[in-house]
Amino acid sequence: MKTSDTIAGYDFHCHVDLQKNAPAYIAECETRRVFTLAVTTTPKAWPQNKKLMNGSRYVRPAIGLHPELAGDRYRELDLVKLCMKETSFVGEVGLDGSPEHMASFEVQRRVYGAILDEAQTLGGKVITTHSRRAATEVIDLIKARTTPDRVLNILHWFSGSKGELIAGIATGCMFSINPGMVRSKSGRELVGAIPIDRLLTETDSPFGIWEDRPARAEDVMGLVAAIAEIRGTGAARVADAVRENAQRVFGFAR
């Protein structure tokens, strides 16, 4: 990132294209100087997102195929792989083991596994990953299909167990913390246990809720304060760590 010295906050998982007014949301990221990784849920949205974010200093699009859509849209896998040649950033991808998505779980595994394989082949890829009720399966696939020198995996809105957290850390994953995690008891426990050199922040807007409304770019600053409070440390220490960790992510992406 050319603008890293001017960045005021970091949002490593945001659905910019699902905002009510995407151009206005991007303008807010620019004004607030919040680096925002704009995930896509289907590669069909990729050309439009690229166009939308073209010229933005702070918003970068990522190419993805959401696990909740993989059952219906697995035919778009080749398109994802093609678009992956154009960007270092991949997401939203992963697995969802919730009861309503269990029917497509095997398809999800095939799609996500193939995306990991492609990322490993291409190298320099940063992936923001969904792992609801499937943390063990996600971490096992990451371990089997990628190596930390070629793929940097960020587990977004992680909601696994402590044991799964330890497995994710051992596999080299980073973790982007969102507003939901600093509210729930289990989320707060995880936020307190993640090594500081693996911490990032995200909004997951418009799904992430901050103060009873969809989270906005500037809320990542409030999130840093909430993380610091949970960890019993100063907000400046967390802000510095997130900045350093983000620099590592940017250095990895190519």
Q: Which of residues 87-146 bind Zn ion (CB under 5 A)?
A: 92
What minimum distance in Å lies between the beta carbon of 16 and Zn ion? 11
DSSP 8-state class, residue 101: G
Rounded to 10 degrees, what is the CA torsion of 17, 125, 253, 191? 70
Compute the least distance from the CB of residue 72 to Zn ion, in Å. Answer: 17
Indicate the residue among 35 and 239 with the shorter CB distance to Zn ion. 35
Comparing CB distances to Zn ion, the nearer of 92 and 118 is: 92
Q: How far apart are CA 70 and CA 49, in angstroms?
A: 20
Stretch that binds Zn ion, among 105-113, 200-208, 223-231, 234-242 (CB under 5 A): 200-208
- For Zn ion, the closer CB: 40 or 88: 40
Least CB distance from residue 53 to Zn ion, whole Å? 17
244: left (phi over 0), alpha (psi -120 to 50) or beta: alpha
Of 160-168, 190-198, 199-207, 236-244, the segment contacting Zn ion by CB under 5 A is: 199-207
Rounded least distance, CB 13 to Zn ion, Å:
6
Residue number, 118 or 204, with CB nearest to Zn ion: 204
Tell me the three state secondary structure of residue 37: strand
Cα first-last separation, the chain: 11
- Provide, rounded to whole angstroms, the least separation between the CB of residue 159 and Zn ion: 13
Count the residues of the shown chain that bind Zn ion, applying the rule CB under 5 A: 2
Please identify, using beta-carbon distances, which residue of 28 and 96 lies nearer to Zn ion.
Answer: 96
Nearer to Zn ion, 204 or 218 (CB): 204
Alpha helices in the chain (DSSP H): 22-32, 46-53, 67-73, 77-83, 105-122, 135-145, 162-170, 179-183, 185-193, 219-231, 235-252
Q: Which two tokens stand for residue 81?
A: 């792989």
Query: What's the CA gap between 86 and 102, in Å, rounded?
Result: 32
Tally of helices (H runs) and strands (E runs) in the chain: 11, 10
Site for Zn ion in 34-93 (CB under 5 A): 92
Angle of helix 46-53 relative to helix 22-32, nearest 10 degrees? 40
CB of 15 to Zn ion, least distance (A): 6
Interface positions with Zn ion (CB under 5 A): 92, 204
